[in-house]
Amino acid sequence: MYFDEKVIILNGSAKTKEEALSELANLMLTKNSVNESFLENVLKREEVYPTGLLVNGVGIAIPHTDSEYVKKSQLGFMSLETPVVFNEMGTLDKKVEVNLIFMLALKEAHEQLSMLQQLIEMFQNESVISSLFEIETEEEFIKLMESQNLK
């Protein structure tokens, strides 16, 4: 369900956070999962409520915005060859070099908290995180997410 539209970019080459978020949001837009204002609002929210996390030495970001900009619940994923800089969650001045981005586009507000909890739990599993760096196909990625009950 959350990966039906295959918003998956493996070994992306984005050079900045904005470029990475634009690529993911534009892919969601072409798949008709979000509306035209989604990217702008993800970027605005990221400035005020950063989503960068450092988990076991790995930089991960979980950008998202309000459900009013979403047409159909989807998760987007991007792994990056070279990290991009996000601000750390809960701060406006600490930087995190991020290699993995999970963009949330959730239609129902209640989905957000449970999805964030599921993702954080998954991020703490070091073997899953190392697998995210090794996958080479969308199918491998989807299988890995299904094994974590993220469907």
CATH number at residue 56: 3.40.930.10
For residue 121, give the amino acid letter: E
Structural domain range at position 27: 8-147
Tell me, rounded to whole angstroms, the distance of Cα 19 from its chain centroid. 13
- pLDDT, tens digit, for every residue of 12-31? 999 999 999 999 999 999 99
Whether 66 is in a domain gets the answer: yes
- State the total domains in the chain: 1
- Under a CB-based contact definition with an 8 Å cutoff, are residues 25 and 38 in contact? yes
Whether 3 is in a domain gets the answer: no
Whether 117 is in a domain gets the answer: yes
d(C-alpha 91, C-alpha 148), whole Å: 29
**Given a cut of 80, is residue 137 above it in pLDDT?**
yes
Instruction: Report CA Rg, the chain.
Output: 14
Whether 70 is in a domain gets the answer: yes
Whether 72 is in a domain gets the answer: yes
- The pLDDT mean for the chain works out to 95
Whether 1 is in a domain gets the answer: no
Whether 47 is in a domain gets the answer: yes
- pLDDT, tens digit, for every residue of 63-88? 999 999 999 999 999 999 999 999 99
Whether 114 is in a domain gets the answer: yes
- pLDDT, tens digit, for every residue of 96-121? 999 999 999 999 978 888 898 999 99
